Amino acid sequence: MQNAPTPLHYRIEIGDVHAHLFRVTLTIARPAALQRVSLPVWIPGSYLVREFSKNLQGLQAHQGARTPVPVEQLDKCSWRIDCSPAKSLVLSYQVIAHDNSVRTAWLDAERGFFNGTSLCLQVQGQEKTPHLLELPAPKNIAGWSVATSLTARKINQHGFGTYVAADYDELVDCPVEMGAFWSGAFRARGVPHRFVVAGAAATFDGDQLLTDVRKICETEIRFWHGDKKPPYKNYLFMLNAVDDGYGGLEHRNCTALICHRKDLPRLGESKTAEGYGMLRGLISHEYFHAWNAKRLRPAEFESYRYERENYTELLWFFEGFTSYYDDLLLRRAGLLDNAGYLKLLNKTINQVMQTPGRLVQSVAEASFDAWVKYYRPDENTPNATVSYYTKGALVALCFDLTLRSEGRARGETRPATLDDVMRALWLRCKAGPLREADVAETLQAAGQRSFAPELAQWVHGTGELPLKALLEQHGVAVLPEPAQLAHRLGLRVSESQGSVQIKTVLRGGAAERAGFAPGDEWLGLEPAATARRKAPSSPGGWRMSQLDDLLLYAGEAQKVFALVSRDKRLLRLELAVPPDLTTWRLAVQDAALVDAWLARRT
C-alpha cells in the first residue's frame, strides 16, 4: 500500500550560491479554486515586521503539463492563484538569502541556512495539514550536510532528503542548517542532543563545549521536571561562528545561535574567557525558552498570525524571567561561582539604573511596544523605553527574593521560591498559553498572599525596584562604586579615530542641561576658572580625542566650556561636571545566605 501524497510539498534547492538564491517549488495537492498563499512578515521570537517577501522573486504557477495559471498579488505579502481545484497546483519562486542572522536566510558557497518564514509560502486553509520538506543533495557541492530538528522521513547519511512537519507552525519553527559544519552529540536525561557549529576556527574545542552544554541541559531539565524527561524527543543547537555577531532565536526543539568566532572555547585553554561565558549564557537562555516562550507562551500567541504584528504585554515574563534564569542556572550547573554570578547581576542592575526610560515606560508597556520601540532603537531609546529583558530579569529577582524572605520570616525551612512558581505555572497552563492572571494567582498560592501591589508597581509601574533591601536580606552587600565619566555626564558616546561623537544625551543629565544633542561632535574644551586655579593662559582650549581627555585637561574643575560641532557650526556649551556619582557594586557578605539563594537546588 502506498502512502497518500502529502498535501503540501516544498522542494528547496540550492539555486545559485554566488547569487545567494534558493529555488523553491511548492506543490499543493488539493488547491482551492482561488488559492491564497502568503509569506510571513515576522518570525516568532523576534518582534519586528521584517517583510520577508522583499526577498521573494519570480513567483509562477502552473497545473498539469506545465499549463501556466495566473497569479495575482493582493498585498505586500500575499497572492491569489486562479486555478482548478481538481488538479495539483505547482508554485515556483526564488528567494534571495544574504542576511547572516538567525532570523532569515543565508546562502553562499560555504553555508546555507534558512527559516521557513523566509522561504515557505503559507497555503491559506491548509495550515494544519502535514507539510513535507524536500532538500535534494546539491549536485556541484561536496562535503555538505544538513541539520534540522524536523522529523526525517527519508534522508541520506548527510541528511539530504525529505522531512515532515505536522503543520505550518512546525515547519517554520524548525530552521535548516547546511554546510560542512562541525557536529557533536550528547544525551541529557536520556534525550539525544546535537550541537552543530559553522565557521569555527581550527582552535575550537568541541569537547569542552559539549561538556558544558550538557551540564546546562541537565540542569534545566531537572529544574522543570525533576527526574522526568523534557517535552521533546530530541534537541538541536545550530551555532554560526562569525567575526562579529551575537544572538539567538528560540524554537520548540532547537535554537539558532550566532556568536563571535573568538568566543568559542579553545583547545588547551583552561580558564573560561569572558566571551565564552557570555556564549554559555546565551545557550542557557535559548534552551530555557523551550519551556518558557515556546510552550508556556503568551495567550495572544496561542496561534500566530504571520501577516501582522502579534501584540502581548507579557514579554517581561517570557524574556525577563528567562533572562533571570539563564545566568542563575549556569550557577546551579556549576559553570559560575557566586562572585561570578553577582558580577553579571551587577551589570544588569547598573544597565537598568542608567536607563532614564525606566521612569517613563513600564515593562508591560515595553512588551506591547516592542515592535516599534525595542526593535527599532534610536538615539532617544534609553530616555523613553526600558528593556523587558533586563528590568524583567530584575522583576523576577525581586519576586524570587521576596518569596524567600517572607517564607523565611514565617519560619519555613523550605520557603517557596520563584522556581516553584515557574513549575506550578507549567502545570496550571498545561505547558501552553499563559495570562498575567495565571502569574498573579500562582504567586499568591506560593507566597500565601496577594502580589497585586507588586505586579502593579514592578510590572505596570515605573517606580524603582526594592533591589537593595532584598539583596541585603540575602547576604549581598550593595556598595557604592564611582560611576564612569560618561554616566556622570549623562552621555553615551562613540569614540573612533580621535573623534568623540554624541550618540545619546540622557534625560535629566549634565550634558542635557548644557545643551548637547545626539549627533554632535565634541571637539574640545576650555576649563573654566576655579577657586584653586586661575583661568588658564591663552589659548586655554584643548582638542579632545576621547572622553577621558576631559579628566586630563579639566581635572577637578566643576565647570568647563565644551566646544561642539553641529551641522558645521561651532558651539560653546557651558557644562557643569557633576561631582561623584556612584553606581552599585555587589559583593558577597554572608556566604551561607548567598548559597541558600544561588547554589541550592529547589
Provide the binding-site residues for Zn ion, judged by CB under 5 A: 319
Least spacing, CB of residue 292 vs Zn ion, in Å: 9
Choose among 179, 160, 7: nearest CA to 100.
179
Single out the residue of 178, 164, 57 nearest to residue 121, CA to CA.
57
| CA distances (Å), origin 110, targets 18, 33, 554 | 10, 42, 53
With helix as H, strand as E and coil as C, how does 426-489 read?
HHHCCCCEECHHHHHHHHHHHHCCCCHHHHHHHHCCCCCCCHHHHHHHCCEEEEEEECCHHHHH
CA 217 to CA 239: how far, in whole Å? 16
- Determine which helix (DSSP H) or strand (DSSP E) holds 339, and give its type and residue range: helix 338-353
Cell numbers representing residue 565 in the block: 560641532
Q: In whole angstroms, give the CA distance from residue 305 to residue 298.
A: 13
Nearer to Zn ion (CB atom), residue 209 or residue 282: 282
Residue (106 or 287) nearer to Zn ion, CB: 287
Given the complex with Zn ion, which of 319 and 526 has the nearer CB atom?
A: 319
**What are phi and psi for residue 454, nearest 5 degrees?**
-65, -40
Least Å from the CB of residue 285 to Zn ion: 5
Q: Tell the smallest beta-carbon distance from residue 578 to Zn ion (Å).
A: 36
Nearer Cβ to Zn ion, position 119 or 257?
257
Q: Which helix (H) or strand (E) holds 285?
A: helix 274-288
Query: Considering the complex, what minimum distance in angstroms separates the CB of residue 300 from Zn ion?
Result: 17
Least distance to Zn ion, CB of residue 327, Å? 13
Residue 148 vs 255, nearer CB to Zn ion: 255
How is residue 583 written as a grid cell? 553606581
**Minimum CB distance to Zn ion smaller for 307 or for 319:** 319
Q: Shortest gap between Cβ of 54 and Zn ion (angstroms)?
A: 25
Distance from C-alpha of 373 to C-alpha of 378, rounded to nearest angstrom: 9
Closest distance between Zn ion and the C-beta of residue 330, in Å?
15
Of the candidates 536, 517, 526, the one whose C-alpha atom is nearest the C-alpha of residue 559 is: 526
Cβ closest to Zn ion, residue 212 vs residue 319? 319
Nearer to Zn ion, 298 or 524 (CB): 298
Q: Which is nearer to Zn ion, 169 or 319 (CB)?
A: 319
The residue number whose beta carbon is nearest to Zn ion equals 319
Pick 251 or 332: Cβ nearer Zn ion:
251
Q: Kindly state the smallest distance separating residue 326's Cβ from Zn ion, in Å.
A: 8
Closer residue to Zn ion in complex, CB, 83/290: 290
SS3 state at 11: strand
Sign of torsion over alpha carbons 409, 411, 413, 415:
negative
289 in helix, strand or coil?
coil
Q: Residue 275 CA to chain centroid, in angstroms?
A: 16
Nearer to Zn ion, 344 or 506 (CB): 344
Long-range CB contacts for residues 305-308, cutoff 8 Å, separation at least 24: 306/38, 306/40, 306/41, 306/42, 306/117, 306/122, 306/172, 307/38, 307/40, 307/41, 307/77, 307/78, 308/41, 308/49
Closest CB 451 distance from Zn ion, rounded Å? 24
We find the least distance from the C-beta atom of residue 359 to Zn ion, in angstroms, to be 25
DSSP 400: H
**Pick 319 or 520: Cβ nearer Zn ion:** 319
Separation in Å, CA 530 to CA 201, 527, 533, 535, 560? 56, 9, 5, 7, 10
Cα distances (Å, whole numbers) of residue 273 to 270, 351, 533:
9, 22, 46
Provide the minimum distance between the beta carbon of 233 and Zn ion in the complex, in angstroms, as a whole number. Answer: 23
The C-alpha cell at 394 is 530584575
**Peptide bond connecting 539 to the previous residue in cis, omega within 30 degrees of 0:** yes
Residue number, 93 or 321, with CB nearest to Zn ion? 321
- Least distance from C-beta 284 to Zn ion, angstroms? 11
The CA-atom distances, in angstroms, between 211 and each of 93, 133, 218, 487 are 43, 33, 11, 40
The nearest distance, CB 44 to Zn ion, in angstroms, is 11
> CB of residue 318 vs Zn ion: minimum separation in angstroms?
7
Distance CA 49, CA 376 (A): 10
